[in-house]
Structure 1
């Protein structure tokens, strides 16, 4: 200070401060860039996992659709048979009457906690809508299952339509094979043809089956569209 060097020291100190600030800003920028890069990698990996599960779900949905179409065919055949309109060479697969489908799609179950990690708003909206489709199908399956437990199965038991002898004849079969067998007593079911109770059961089953099919068709369309969109976004956006 005695040599009037205060100004030089101040300039030096200010220069040091500026360099430190610049260094901090550069470090923050590098850290921010690294975080964005990690986020992109994680999001790309998330999209890849979603795509794999969407492809698996597409197979399940098609299986559900085929099962429900078979159910719908069986219900129509029983109605036609009860009114003498069924062709003579037709075979009715009565086993589908008792069967209740187990709902098992993966996207909502596996990714509802990860939706917050998706930065692309359009993708996030598509997945959230897909969640709603899944919920709609789950509701349809649950109502069908409850209806069969509360209304249909008591009707079959009350009228002796469940064929106990046939069940135990095939009792060595695995459950999933057993449920594909015709273990209903056709002659006893035929005695209920034309009754109001059976007609109403067929009516409700047909409505619920149609609802399930409609919901499945829509979620299948959304599934395929979401797969296409995710593939496009991965190709166009995630260049790391």
Structure 2
């Protein structure tokens, strides 16, 4: 092709057809420019296609982890609902409002689960790669719900560590005999065991110290539950947004 154009130029020059040569030269330049523009357009299209593909993979990955987190959130909601019921029953028992045959499970009294969700930790640095503004805003809102859960969990954990465990040790409510009877269990199994002396706890019934502990535990556990329910709702909404986006059904107005 290059030899063909060179032959034409040389023929026009040899025939002294300057006007035609200039027109030809301009035409050749135009063809070169058009070729360059076409090449740039193809390259740009390929780059945009790669960006869209990477973005869809990112959204799909976030969606998969949201589904995993949803299951974990539900497990923790059940855990802290049981914890809340246990605090309520201890208080009711201390007021003589439970029947004598009522059995209270203290297995979660000492334990506090540190619950770190995966979305913010895994994807916060990639959010700028998402083109849809409404999706970015929704994910950022979800991060805030995650932070609220982590704050609530930390406050509850710190309170149990600094106040509740000291109270249990101070009055000998921790049952060493029950602990070492289960010495074959590892920590994560053992912390779910009912290793408390009910009789020694009952000795503290009616005391202001115990009632204040139950009050604080009730407030902090309620905050943890509220935060978990909030992030669960946000989780489901974000899942729906991502499913709609990936299926091409997202017609929401940009925020």
Shorter-chain TM-score category?
Answer: over 0.9
Separation of aligned partners in 1, 2:158 and 2:81:
20
Q: Contact 2:171–2:200 at 8 Å: present in 1 too?
A: yes
Change (3 A) 1:24 1:14: same
What does residue 107 of structure 1 align with? 119
What does residue 20 of structure 1 align with? 32
Separation of aligned partners in 1, 2:131 and 2:227:
28
What does residue 36 of structure 1 align with? 48
* Residue 120 of structure 1 pairs with residue 93 of structure 2: no
The two structures have a TM-score, normalised by structure 2, of 0.89
Q: Report the CA distance between 1:2 and its aligned residue.
A: 9.9
* Residue 156 of structure 1 pairs with residue 168 of structure 2: yes
Q: Contact 2:113–2:157 at 8 Å: present in 1 too?
A: yes
What does residue 5 of structure 1 align with? 17
Larger Rg, first or second structure (1 or 2): 2
What does residue 222 of structure 1 align with? 234
Q: Report the CA distance between 1:147 and its aligned residue.
A: 0.6
Deviations 1:158-197 (A, max 9, x none): 1111111110111111222211111011111111111111
What does residue 3 of structure 2 align with? none
Separation of aligned partners in 2, 1:87 and 1:45:
57
Change (3 A) 1:17 1:183: same
* Residue 90 of structure 1 pairs with residue 90 of structure 2: no
Provide structure 1 residue ranges, at least 5 long, that are not aligned to the other structure. Answer: none
* TM-align CA RMSD: 1.6
Q: Report the CA distance between 1:100 and its aligned residue.
A: 1.0
Separation of aligned partners in 2, 1:202 and 1:153:
13
Q: Report the CA distance between 1:4 and its aligned residue.
A: 5.8
Q: Choose 143-152 or 11-20, whichever is displaced more.
A: 11-20
Q: Report the CA distance between 1:89 and its aligned residue.
A: 3.4
* Residue 58 of structure 1 pairs with residue 66 of structure 2: no
Separation of aligned partners in 2, 1:69 and 1:185:
23
Provide structure 2 residue ranges, at least 5 long, that are not aligned to the other structure. Answer: 1-12, 251-255
Q: Contact 2:114–2:150 at 8 Å: present in 1 too?
A: no
- What is the number of equivalent residue pairs in this alignment? 238
